[in-house]
Amino acid sequence: MSAINMIFSQNISIVRPAYFFITGLSGIPYSSYYYIFLFFTYFIAVIGNSVVLFIIALDRSLHSPKYIGVFNLALADIGETNALIPNMLKTLLFESQYISYNSCLLNMYFVFLFGSMQSLSLVVLAFDRFIAICLPLRYHAIVTNTGMSLIFSAIWAFNTFVMALTVSLLTRLSFCKSNVIQSYFCDHGPVYRLACNDNSMNNLMANLCTALYLVAPLAIIIVSYIGILLALIRITTWEGRIKALKTCVSHLLLVGVFFLPITCTYIAAFMFALSPNARIISTSLAFVIPPMLNPIIYVLNTAEIKDLMQKVLKNRFATIGQSISH
């Protein structure tokens, strides 16, 4: 009975605020222009990723392992964009900075779920490029549609569990000091640091997520490209090397766009004492820019998608020309 009483007394002592207050940018003149920029970023990201999803879904020639990976990346991009930017604009541009406790946790869950999917999708695409260049004769035996679908199903299930655990652990925290979140959304770090009871488990989960979705994926991708470079050296002709390397250009750009900004932000925050405004701008750009650029990179650097779009536009203009002539 004493153990039950102890658990009960701990539960009733937990203080959960009805609302959190998200500060956003403070003291910066013309900060509304930044939010207008975010609106255009949102528009481009949603339209671009929707086009990529639509093209891959409709064109049977793109129903291949590589494009299963691209499809999941675009799905994660559009999910993160919708989870993050509309709430940012509602909260900050229209000065509706209060968010309920449950809505805060829900928003945090979806932002990090889709962000983690972006990271691991790039790892799977690196695996695809590694097998295609290092083991070209065995590629179709190793990398199959069924295998790729199973991999992504497992990743979605794993990330759903990890993010649900990460967010659910916040419910054991007591917020008796402040409910002001110095960020642009319900960010995990700024939220759990507000707690006035033990948050060591939350700090452990934050470090685990950083290792799982930033450090480990980047390390795996770097190792895979070292293997690709060694395979390219064994190719006798420069033409063959360049042809093989061209198939990696889109993926390398996606990796750079996703990992460089967030890695630089982590390093800068570790080495220097960033002001809240500097941290908010840098981290928000690291979150919103990749979903906007990813579809542009794939459309411009992928011959199959580019050729398909040219055919669609050509047929569309031909139809319009015929209707005008009649």
Task: Spell out the domain ranges in the chain.
Answer: 17-325
Report the distance separating Cα 104 and Cα 83, nearest Å. 11
Kindly give, in sequence order, each residue whose CB lies less than 8 Å from that of residue 259, ignoring residues fewer than 6 positions away.
Answer: 122, 214, 217, 218, 221
Task: Say what the pLDDT of residue 274 is.
Answer: 72
Identify each DSSP E strand in 152-268 by its residue range. Answer: 180-181
Kindly give, in sequence order, each residue whose CB lies less than 8 Å from that of residue 14, ignoring residues fewer than 6 positions away.
Answer: 171, 172, 173, 174, 197
Can you tell me whether residue 95 is helix, strand or coil? Answer: coil
Report the distance separating Cα 140 and Cα 260, nearest Å. 32
Instruction: Select the CATH number that applies to the domain covering 17-325 from these four: 1.20.1070.10, 1.10.287.610, 3.40.50.2300, 1.10.3720.10.
Output: 1.20.1070.10
| DSSP H or E run through 100 | strand 98-100
Task: Say what the pLDDT of residue 105 is.
Answer: 95
Residues of the chain with pLDDT under 50: 1-11
Kindly give, in sequence order, each residue whose CB lies less than 8 Å from that of residue 174, ignoring residues fewer than 6 positions away.
Answer: 13, 14, 15, 16, 195, 196, 197
DSSP code per residue over 250-298: HHHHHHHHHHHHHHHHHHHHHHS---HHHHHHHHHHHHHHHHHHHHHHH
Task: Say what the pLDDT of residue 295 is.
Answer: 86
pTM to 2 decimals?
0.87
**C-alpha triplet 132, 136, 138: angle, nearest 5°:** 105
Q: Which residues pair with 180 in a beta bridge?
A: 21
pLDDT in tens, 85-123: 998 888 777 777 889 999 999 999 999 999 999 999 999
Q: Give the strands of the sheet with 19-22, arranged side by side.
A: 98-100, 19-22, 180-181
Report the distance separating Cα 45 and Cα 257, nearest Å. 14
